[in-house]
Amino acid sequence: MAPENRGILHSWPRWFAVSALVVILDQLTKYWVSHWLAAGESVAITPFFNLTLTYNTGAAFSFLSRASGWQRGFFIAIATSASLLLVYLIIRYQRLNLFSLGLSLILGGALGNLWDRIFLGHVVDFLDFYFQSYHWPAFNAADSAITCGAALLIWDSFRRRPAK
């Protein structure tokens, strides 16, 4: 193996460790909330934030949540395909730190929600932010990681890179 490639084998595990940490934190928070609250139950934490246990069979913003059940397999297929692509991209671009961090957060979030879909048939959501009577759709730690990862990818896209 050429010396310049030797470091590549040791760069990507940290990105998968980030993804694994996201999955673990996501599943632990969902487990805790699911055992502390009943479905639909809400506990006020601040004047703008509740813990509210909800189950989402759809995608973001409950998209397709009222479909007849076909959406579960559809979303599992999409999340699996996206996760495989993310693994490839992380390995391929592992030396681009901000880019790889963003991909790692998205991968961890995708896997956390994929776990729910496969084993529960729905995604557990519980973070409920609101202003007066307007409530943002409930979400979870995996969704937060996906959002932060996407923000990092956008930020990274605006950074200047040296020409090859």
- Concatenate the DSSP letters of all residues of 3-61 into one string: HHHHGGGGTTHHHHHHHHHHHHHHHHHHHHHHHHS-TT-EEEEETTEEEEEEEESSSGG
- How many other β-carbons are positioned within 10 Å of the β-carbon of residue 27? 18
Of 26, 116, 128, 143, which is the active-site residue? 143
Of 26, 116, 125, 128, which is the active-site residue? 125
- How many other β-carbons are positioned within 10 Å of the β-carbon of residue 92? 12
- Among this protein's residues, is 116 annotated catalytic? no
Compute the C-alpha angle 60/65/70, nearest 5°: 110
CA 120 – CA 122 distance, rounded (Å)? 5
- Among this protein's residues, is 26 annotated catalytic? no
Q: What DSSP character marks residue 160?
A: -
Residues identified as active-site:
125, 143
